[in-house]
Amino acid sequence: MPHSTDALSRFYAVIPAGGIGSRLWPLSRADAPKFLHDLTGSGHTLLRDTWDRLAPLAGEQRIMVVTGRAHRAAVEAQLPELADANVVLESEPRESTAAIGLAAAILNKREPGVIIGSFAADHVIKNSTVFRDAVRQAVAAADSGQIVTLGIRPTEPAIGFGYIKTGEALTIEGAPSALAVESFVEKPDLATAKMYVSSGQYLWNAGMFIARADRLLEEIGASEPTLLAGLLELADAWDTPERGIVVDRVWPNLKKIAIDYTVAEPAAAAGKLAVVPGQFDWDDVGDFASIAKIHSGGRKRDLAILGEGARVLADSSSGIVVSHTKRMIALIGVEDIVVVDTPDALLVTTSANAQRVKAVVDALKLSGSTDVL
Amino acid sequence: MPHSTDALSRFYAVIPAGGIGSRLWPLSRADAPKFLHDLTGSGHTLLRDTWDRLAPLAGEQRIMVVTGRAHRAAVEAQLPELADANVVLESEPRESTAAIGLAAAILNKREPGVIIGSFAADHVIKNSTVFRDAVRQAVAAADSGQIVTLGIRPTEPAIGFGYIKTGEALTIEGAPSALAVESFVEKPDLATAKMYVSSGQYLWNAGMFIARADRLLEEIGASEPTLLAGLLELADAWDTPERGIVVDRVWPNLKKIAIDYTVAEPAAAAGKLAVVPGQFDWDDVGDFASIAKIHSGGRKRDLAILGEGARVLADSSSGIVVSHTKRMIALIGVEDIVVVDTPDALLVTTSANAQRVKAVVDALKLSGSTDVL
């Protein structure tokens, strides 16, 4: 069994920075996706916070970002330390297996034996120290050949997250907390979520995966051999003058499929998936209700106000106002309200309806109102 | 008793165009008061609609407008037919007794025996023909020496209006519908309002007064002799080169008091007040809930949308959106909502809270946010 200190020196962090975050419209847009916003009041974008969380672990020369061509300039402005060789640009979005798989293939070619960890650019994590300790254990576990995920100890019976059902404790050097994963379960209803939490057996699935790149590619190949062949072809050409031609030919034809289906679920079913439980605060900031919760520090009776120079006059004691226009915003007698004020679009809804914001984006697409998407 | 046809030839309409309409903030502003807005979707401002309603009755040479100096240009742009001699400018607002009393004093000096009718610039009336028939009767009744008001037959137990308790039928030539007024009553609670409506004895008080100018001034003098003296001094100087000097000296010192207290209530108590009931649709458009009601034609299950080029995507089936910015406005899962979107200020409230909008204006004044008032 290899030494875990060696393992960490072979660690490479991958940040897939894709996804517009339709449930955060009109804040998140095609040209200003969720990861380019400061949704926590930290003063930094979610992408920058993700980088700052990973750099102490991987080193800033060992963080790769996979993003859309359209976002290259914005990403590089946020991450001036990002090396050119660590920028992977997608000509069009092809889902997470292609994005993470391409990073794995490129890095494995450059550096056989590399261990990669994939961390979304648009999640919120407090307690970075605890997070990094969990990642260190996950890296050690990954080095033993496991596909490893981080699972978050639930603090409430959330119905907006998927859950991981844990099995027996594993005995892996450097990963004392690692457990076997029995299965992944979809977002539950409230009664089921309560049962999950009280059982102590379930963790939130934060969608973070850590694995040896070769093992990850092996899993992809087992599920989707054609997709793997495409990824390897891309990786072979990546650091050559052929990159552009091969990308134009291969990338648009890759199957669009989430890594949950190609890697996580098959590996769990085969007993090759481990989870390291983490006690850190995590949120995928999936909708405005989630942002409101982050800002109120869990207190339900606070109106959260985001936006530099926001002018808000309100008697509301709950909900959230996002102000990107410096207009005076007056709220009277509205509770659990969500108001998002941007120069060309305004959203008014409630916390309870926050998940339905995506439907607006769908309707705007259908109606051809692409100017505000 | 004079002939009513003669009386109508001595009729002069007065339109007090004052009052910002604080409950309609941020639509109504100091520099864009309620009467300068199209709140009905007629394509005309309320002021213009008021003019068009009165011109067939009085003739466009016999309509006087009393307004603030700051609104002169806007008023004249709305009413190109308005004669210079019929513009009375207030250097500062001094309430309705001063405004209507000054018009009465000026007109009575120019044309002794004139009958004036005062009609707010910011009310909504449908059925103009029925309205004019009521005014004709009111003019005939006024010529007999009565102070006359129009009362609206209630269509519902409204709690936002004052009521007029009617007495016996009067027998006045040309005014077959005229009744004595027993008293004015303040805005009632719902139970009282229901009792008023079912009794058949009560009318809504629309605040419209018709009287011989000399009788009106006599009533003002009986209540407020000093105020009357000021008005007569102003009227004496009005059509002379001294106007400016006298206005600057006298106007700012006139007592601020509503005509309800100087004329209507004392005249009612003395049995000198008549009311002509009207069957026309009337609304004082006091708040956004009232605008929503006007636009939905009384149907509660319609979302009213105001504003040229408004872009609204909503699943709400009630409430009102006023769009003055052409921004995309998306509403999800909010009912009875009030959203007023202007370039520098946004209001979000509910129909039930619409009356409380004035509190926002008060709070903005207190906080020094005068740029959005």
Would you say A239 and A246 are in contact if contact means Cβ atoms under 8 Å apart?
no
Would you say B209 and B135 are in contact if contact means Cβ atoms under 8 Å apart?
no
Alpha-carbon span A310 to B167, nearest angstrom: 56
Does B329 sit within 8 Å of A345, measured CB to CB?
yes
Q: Is the pLDDT of residue B123 over 80?
A: yes
Does B348 sit within 8 Å of A329, measured CB to CB?
yes
Rg value, chain B, Cα = 21
pLDDT of residue B160: 87
Q: Is the pLDDT of residue A317 over 90?
A: no
Q: How far is B285 from chain A (nearest CA, A)?
A: 19
B320 touches chain A (CB under 8 A): no
pLDDT of residue B189: 95
Q: How far is B347 from chain A (nearest CA, A)?
A: 5
Confidence of residue B300 (pLDDT cuts 50, 70, 90): low
Would you say B28 and B21 are in contact if contact means Cβ atoms under 8 Å apart?
yes
Protein fold of B4-283: Spore Coat Polysaccharide Biosynthesis Protein SpsA; Chain A (3.90.550)
What amino acid occupies position A312? Answer: V
pLDDT of residue A42: 85
Q: Is the pLDDT of residue A192 over 50?
A: yes
User: Residue B357: its chain A contacts at CB < 8 A?
Assistant: 330, 332
pLDDT digits (tens, 9 = 90+) for B168-207: 999 999 999 999 999 999 999 999 999 999 999 999 999 9
- The pLDDT mean for chain B works out to 94
Q: Is the pLDDT of residue A188 over 80?
A: yes
Q: How far is B349 from chain A (nearest CA, A)?
A: 5
Residues contacting residue B57 through CB under 8 Å, at least 6 positions apart:
B8, B11, B13, B132, B135, B136
Confidence of residue A300 (pLDDT cuts 50, 70, 90): low
> Nearest by CB to B346, which of A327, A337, A369?
A327
Q: How far is B18 from chain A (nearest CA, A)?
A: 25
pLDDT digits (tens, 9 = 90+) for A212-263: 999 999 999 999 999 999 999 999 999 999 999 999 999 999 999 999 999 9
Which residues are registered as beta bridge partners of B152? B204, B278
Q: Is the pLDDT of residue B4 over 90?
A: no
User: Residue A24: its chain B contacts at CB < 8 A?
Assistant: none
What mean pLDDT do residues B115-140 have? 96
Confidence of residue B29 (pLDDT cuts 50, 70, 90): very high
Does A339 sit within 8 Å of B331, measured CB to CB?
no
Residue with tokens 């962090």: A13
Which residues are registered as beta bridge partners of A303? A319
| Nearest by Cα to A274 from A98, A186, A144, A154 | A144
B308 touches chain A (CB under 8 A): no
pLDDT digits (tens, 9 = 90+) for A68-107: 999 999 999 999 999 999 999 999 999 999 999 999 999 9
Q: Is the pLDDT of residue B119 over 60?
A: yes
| Nearest by Cα to B354 from A332, A338, A336 | A332
Q: Which two tokens stand for residue A94?
A: 């092809």
Q: A368 or A66, which is more confident?
A: A66
Rg value, chain A, Cα = 21
pLDDT digits (tens, 9 = 90+) for A230-243: 999 999 999 999 99
B73 touches chain A (CB under 8 A): no
Q: Is the pLDDT of residue B2 over 70?
A: no
A312 touches chain B (CB under 8 A): no
Minimum mean pLDDT among A1-10, A324-333, B35-44, B46-55: which range? A1-10
Does A353 sit within 8 Å of B330, measured CB to CB?
no
Residue of A nearest to B346 (CA): A329
| Nearest by Cα to B322 from B308, B336, B333, B301 | B308
Scanning A120-269, the segments in alpha helix (DSSP H) are: 128-143, 190-199, 213-223, 225-238, 243-250, 259, 265-269
Alpha-carbon span B114 to B109, nearest angstrom: 9
B349 touches chain A (CB under 8 A): yes
pLDDT digits (tens, 9 = 90+) for B256-295: 999 999 999 999 999 999 999 999 999 999 999 999 988 8
B126 touches chain A (CB under 8 A): no
pLDDT of residue B40: 86
User: Residue B347: its chain A contacts at CB < 8 A?
Assistant: 330, 332
Whole-number percent of chain B with pLDDT over 70:
97
A343 touches chain B (CB under 8 A): yes
Q: Is the pLDDT of residue B19 over 90?
A: no
User: Omega before A26 cis (within 30°)?
Assistant: yes
Alpha-carbon span A107 to B227, nearest angstrom: 90
pLDDT of residue A49: 97
Interface mutation target, options B348, B358, B366, chain A, most CBs of A under 10 Å: B348
Alpha-carbon span A195 to A157, nearest angstrom: 8
Does B330 sit within 8 Å of A345, measured CB to CB?
yes
pLDDT of residue B3: 46
B373 touches chain A (CB under 8 A): no
> Nearest by CB to B360, which of A311, A313, A350?
A313
Does A367 sit within 8 Å of B332, measured CB to CB?
no
Percent helix, strand and coil across chain A, each to the nearest 5:
40, 25, 35
Burial (CB < 10 A; 0-12, 13-18, 19+), residue B130, is: middle
Q: Is the pLDDT of residue A40 over 90?
A: no
pLDDT digits (tens, 9 = 90+) for A105-161: 999 999 999 999 999 999 999 999 999 999 999 999 999 999 999 999 999 999 889
User: Residue B337: its chain A contacts at CB < 8 A?
Assistant: 334, 348
User: ∠ CA(B160), CA(B150), CA(B286), 5° rounding?
Assistant: 25
- The pLDDT mean for chain A works out to 94
Q: Is the pLDDT of residue B247 over 70?
A: yes
Buried residues in B323-350 as b, exposed as e (16+ CB within 10 A): bbbebbbbbbbbebbbbbbbeebbbbbb
**Where does CATH 3.90.550.10 sit in chain A?**
4-283
Whole-number percent of chain B with pLDDT over 90:
88
Confidence of residue B53 (pLDDT cuts 50, 70, 90): very high
Q: Which two tokens stand for residue B128?
A: 């103009």
Q: Is the pLDDT of residue A4 over 80?
A: no
Phi, psi of A270 (to 5 degrees): -90, 5
Does A313 sit within 8 Å of B333, measured CB to CB?
no
Q: Is the pLDDT of residue A2 over 90?
A: no
B213 touches chain A (CB under 8 A): no
Between A243-250 and A225-238, two packed helices, what is the crossing angle to 10 degrees? 160
Q: Which two tokens stand for residue A42?
A: 């930290």
> Nearest by CB to A356, which of B333, B357, B359?
B333
> Nearest by CB to B333, which of A332, A339, A353?
A353
Scanning A144-262, the segments in alpha helix (DSSP H) are: 190-199, 213-223, 225-238, 243-250, 259
Burial (CB < 10 A; 0-12, 13-18, 19+), residue B84, is: exposed
Alpha-carbon span B18 to B33, nearest angstrom: 8
